[in-house]
Amino acid sequence: MYQFVLIARFKECLPLLRKAIENNESATILNITGRKGSIELCPGTERLHGNYAYMCSKTAVNLLTRILSIEHPEILSVAVCPGWNRTDMGGPEWLSIDLVLILISPPSSATFQGMSDPSQSAPILLDTVDGMTITDHSGKYLDRKGRTIPY
């Protein structure tokens, strides 16, 4: 039987999150997602590339975030898209593909901002999450500036 690593890691961390709450500290689950996980924005406004597994995995992360916010209302649980980062899955080799697709069919609601280094994106995400509250933000799907992305 298969077990998703994402779930397994969360279950391992849950006692630590609960301990933080018992010590009157905040507990936050920050799931890294992507715009391609949005069912409402796909297809049409996103560049698909036929990368179905990636899109489905991000959609699953978004759903998990919502579920965790309901099952654990004492923990801030958010899914945040960091934007386009230079990674093994989003590096320069994808640049020419994205540019061709942008020229053919520009995204209607997204702007091309180029690639960020993950070491630059991480502090931005942490700053964004730092000001969030459970009441206003838990279960949300957001961009790196804290703006809502439709599920």
d(CA 147, CA 80): 9
The pLDDT of residue 13: 86
- Domain range for 67 is 26-143
The pLDDT of residue 1: 43
- Token match 């180029």: residue? 114
Residues ≥6 apart with Cβ < 8 Å to 5: none
Q: Which tokens is 22 given?
A: 């018992």
User: Domain for residue 16, yes or no?
Assistant: no
User: Domain for residue 118, yes or no?
Assistant: yes
The pLDDT of residue 8: 66
User: Domain for residue 60, yes or no?
Assistant: yes
The CATH code of the domain that includes 68 is 3.40.50.720
Angle at 58 between CA 56 and CA 64, to 5 degrees: 105
User: Domain for residue 6, yes or no?
Assistant: no
User: Domain for residue 11, yes or no?
Assistant: no
User: Domain for residue 148, yes or no?
Assistant: no
The pLDDT profile of the chain, 151 residues, written as one tens digit per residue, is 444 556 667 788 889 899 989 999 888 999 989 888 888 887 655 556 667 888 888 999 999 999 999 999 999 999 999 887 766 665 555 444 444 434 344 444 444 445 677 788 888 888 898 889 999 999 999 998 899 999 9
